[in-house]
Amino acid sequence: MKKPKNYVTDEKAEHHAEILSNRLKNRYRHLARRFRKANIDVFRLYDRDIPEVRAVVDWYQGHLVVGEYIRLQTGPKWLAHMARAAGDALDIPPEKIFTKRRQTQIGTAPRYKSSKKKGKRFTVSERDLKFWVNLDGFLDTGLFSDHRDTRVLIRKMAKGQDVLNLYAYTGAFSCAAALGGAKSIVTVDRSATYIQWAKDNFKLNKIKNPAYTFAQSDTEKYIELMQRKRCNFTLAFVDPPSFSNRLGKGSFDINRHHPELLEKVFTVMAKGSTVIFSANHQRFDPRFEKLKVKRIKELTPKTIPEDYRNKLVHRCWQIDL
């Protein structure tokens, strides 16, 4: 089989590994002390800083997650080279290093893909919050640390609010809203696994309130139910997948369908309420011009932490109704 142009040979892979090793040592020295002081156990050490080394490396309390954005040029062994280099650079044993291969265009593939391994959960801290993570059982780990500052924002906004957390995953934003003094919270995700995970995160943070509830449901089905019940929320966090399959309605593509989705969310929001909307599509094209709202303000520069050098890891807006 003919190799693609610019194919990464073993010699080139060793060069990439050396580059990555040197960068990781420098970044760890720069970041580790300040994050320990802030009680933050999860942070990004390498974020595709150098174009030829298309990897990400995340620190999870003495564990490493090394991810590759798949290219034909690198071949199947490249990621293993990078993982070994990362472990050697930071003196992390192989059993605490986990690798992930990510597609840059996933089509209609599931957002959260399980592996054949169950993995083992452990807890990490994010300031005064704690979360369960699993580095081996899923493509994603249970916590998106690029949104740690967005969780601070939601926590500040949540006091006395009726909060709706859609596409809630493992409920990290719901935990933040609870500690911020939310009046009520509904945590919505269609996965039973992630709803249970969210409940476990609530228990871990000693959050008990009968007004904080969980709904295993497709988002659009849940909105329809809330419309019939004439529910009105005052603060919502909406972080949909870039692509997914919708129950009975074909595939969801965030670039095509986000205006329609937001209009549906608005139907269950009270007058004067706020929606925080986030998108993680690398080429997201916002189309807000037809939305009937008071104000839309982009928050992205405030919500991406300093350790994320790729400033398009997500985009985030505040929408006031």
Residue 148 contacts residue 154 (beta carbons within 8 Å): no
Helix, strand, coil abundance in the chain, percent, nearest 5: 35, 30, 40
Domains of the chain and CATH, by start: 10-102 (3.30.750.80), 121-320 (3.40.50.150)
CA distance 221 to 198: 20
DSSP state of 2: P
Q: What is the pTM of this model?
A: 0.92
Distance CA 174, CA 188 (A): 10
Cα–Cα distances in angstroms (integers) from residue 288 to residues 73, 159, 185, 207, 254, in the given order: 38, 28, 26, 36, 13
- Distance, in Å, from the CA atom of 158 to the CA atom of 153, rounded to the nearest integer, reads 9
Residues 15-33: tens digit of each pLDDT: 899 999 999 999 999 999 9
Q: Per residue of the chain (321 residues), give pLDDT as tens.
A: 556 556 567 788 898 999 999 999 999 999 999 999 999 999 999 998 888 898 999 999 999 999 997 766 677 788 999 999 999 999 999 999 999 987 654 443 444 444 455 679 999 999 999 999 999 978 899 999 999 999 999 999 999 999 999 999 999 999 999 999 999 999 999 999 999 999 999 999 999 999 999 999 999 999 999 999 999 999 999 999 988 876 556 788 899 999 999 999 999 999 999 999 999 988 999 999 999 999 999 999 999 999 998 778 999 999 999
**Helices 10-37 + 78-90 axis angle, to 10:** 40
pLDDT of residue 2: 55
Contacts of 244 (CB under 8 A, 6+ apart): 108, 110, 111, 251, 252
